[in-house]
């Protein structure tokens, strides 16, 4: 059954902006929670058990990167950065830490809603079908636990990374265009920066490198990506 109520944790210290976003999100039937103690963000995250986290970079005591790292060490919950900082390194850093998206302030509320809906639909609704184990290049992909394992070890992927890998191996040995991946991941490519997909694919490849699988994900410049499958994996 498709869920109709989701809990969102909005980690934002600007009280006026927090209240405005909370009120707007509440109109879409989201339960929105905030932070009461900036030294205990992780504890409050654990208590709320949100379905999605929206987080600013500039926060009291510790920045959003710190809390993203802490949350990621405990959970694969979707994380969206909402920040006035617009330097490319901030976007790259957020993606490398495991965030699912980055929205720059000031923002259009319709864009925020579109991104939240796309992420929630992908993470929670797409998983209503029976889970099956897949094999690729001698490795087993467990979509239920977000794990890829072979004789070299096991790596855990984020929801985005797993989704990208699944889309690529569904068309293994064929080029999957960047546009197709973006649309499959975020529904509307108008709201996604080209760099977002690049960072996600690079992060996926880096994790797969740990079990010697990164070499099977190739970039085709100006076209897209390809998941190679060879008979001999040695």
Domain ranges of the chain: 6-127, 130-227
CA 155 remoteness from chain centre: 16
Cα–Cα distances (Å) from 122 to 134, 175, 187, in that order, read 19, 22, 9
Average pLDDT of span 70-77: 91
pLDDT score recorded for residue 230: 67
Q: Residue 232: is its pLDDT beyond 70?
A: no
Average pLDDT of span 20-45: 93
pLDDT digits (tens, 9 = 90+) for 128-167: 444 456 789 989 888 878 889 988 899 998 888 888 998 9
pLDDT score recorded for residue 192: 56
Contact 174, 73 (CB under 8 A): no
pTM higher than 0.85, yes or no? no
| Start-end of H helices in 49-97 | 64-72, 88-96
Q: Which of 31-45, 119-133, 185-199 has the highest mean pLDDT?
A: 31-45
d(C-alpha 88, C-alpha 121), whole Å: 27
pLDDT score recorded for residue 191: 46
Average pLDDT of span 96-115: 87
Average pLDDT of span 114-134: 70
d(C-alpha 209, C-alpha 216), whole Å: 9
Strands in 110-159 per DSSP E = 134-136, 139-142, 147-150, 153-156
pLDDT score recorded for residue 119: 87
Q: Which CATH number fits domain 6-127: 3.40.50.1000, 3.40.50.2300, 3.90.550.10, 3.40.190.80?
A: 3.40.50.2300
* Three-point CA angle 24, 81, 45, nearest 5°: 80
pLDDT score recorded for residue 181: 87
pLDDT digits (tens, 9 = 90+) for 156-203: 988 888 889 989 998 999 999 988 888 877 654 444 566 778 888 999
Terminal-to-terminal C-alpha distance of the chain: 43
CATH number of 130-227: 1.10.10.10
234's CB contacts (< 8 A; 6+ apart) are: none
d(C-alpha 85, C-alpha 198), whole Å: 20
């Amino acid at each position: 059954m498709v869920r109709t109520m989701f809990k969102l944790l909005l980690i934002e210290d600007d009280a006026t902006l927090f209240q405005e976003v909370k009120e707007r999100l509440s109109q879409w039937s989201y339960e929105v929670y905030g932070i009461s103690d900036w030294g205990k963000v992780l504890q409050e995250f654990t208590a709320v058990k949100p379905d999605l986290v929206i987080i600013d970079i500039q926060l009291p005591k510790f920045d959003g990167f710190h809390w993203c790292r802490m949350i990621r060490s405990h959970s694969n919950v979707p994380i969206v950065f909402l920040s006035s900082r617009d330097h490319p390194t901030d976007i790259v850093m957020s993606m490398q830490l495991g965030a699912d998206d980055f929205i720059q302030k000031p923002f259009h509320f319709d864009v925020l809603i579109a991104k939240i809906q796309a992420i929630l639909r992908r993470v929670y609704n797409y998983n209503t079908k029976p889970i099956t184990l897949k094999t690729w290049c001698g490795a087993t992909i467990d979509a239920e636990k977000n794990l890829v394992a072979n004789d070299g070890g096991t790596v855990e992927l984020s929801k985005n990374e797993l989704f990208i890998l699944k889309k690529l191996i569904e068309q293994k040995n064929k080029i999957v265009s960047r546009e197709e991946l973006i649309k499959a991941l975020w529904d509307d490519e108008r709201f996604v920066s080209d760099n977002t997909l690049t960072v996600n694919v690079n992060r996926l490849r880096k994790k797969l490198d740990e079990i010697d699988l990164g070499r099977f994900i190739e970039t085709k410049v100006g076209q897209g990506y390809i998941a190679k499958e060879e008979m001999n994996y040695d």
